[in-house]
Structure 1
């Protein structure tokens, strides 16, 4: 399966946000944030915590304690990674749980 085709489609549909991994230098990438106060899968499910999904290759240095910033939109704020990233079966996408700091 060609996973590379999904991300541009998600982005053009407005499902991704620009995220910055705080560091020297900062690293910007696109990610999708699921929050517990918002329904997912056509409102048939709800995330239990803030979960960020991203392309694994975009952020090889993601680690517990890292700070992420989303500057615009309803998810704007600063977040901290609370557990190590989990890759999907193909390794193309990863998810990390986040704690909202502000």
Structure 2
């Protein structure tokens, strides 16, 4: 399952709620203000662990728009809109955390 998170963890607890229920096959895509959680100084150990497993993505345009490209945590995969579509097709089901 694909989980999209579009809010900063400073604004809402959407990411925390998502992390509490995902399973071993789920992936997370950080979009809009959610990409702030992809920065080195803001991501949690659980995000770092999932990223090391190749299960955390961030929308490149949103990362660039927020000026955090050079501050991205290790193993966060940047994708474009075509990559977003590919993730939706690959995982079939998407859940949006707002």
Q: Decide: shared fold, TM above 0.5.
A: no
Structure 1 or 2: more strand by fraction: 1
TM-score, normalized by length of structure 2?
A: 0.26
Q: Which has the larger radius of gyration?
A: 1
* TM-score normalised by length of structure 1: 0.26
- Larger RCO of the pair (alpha carbons < 8 Å, separation 6+): 2
Q: Give the structure with the larger helix fraction.
A: 2
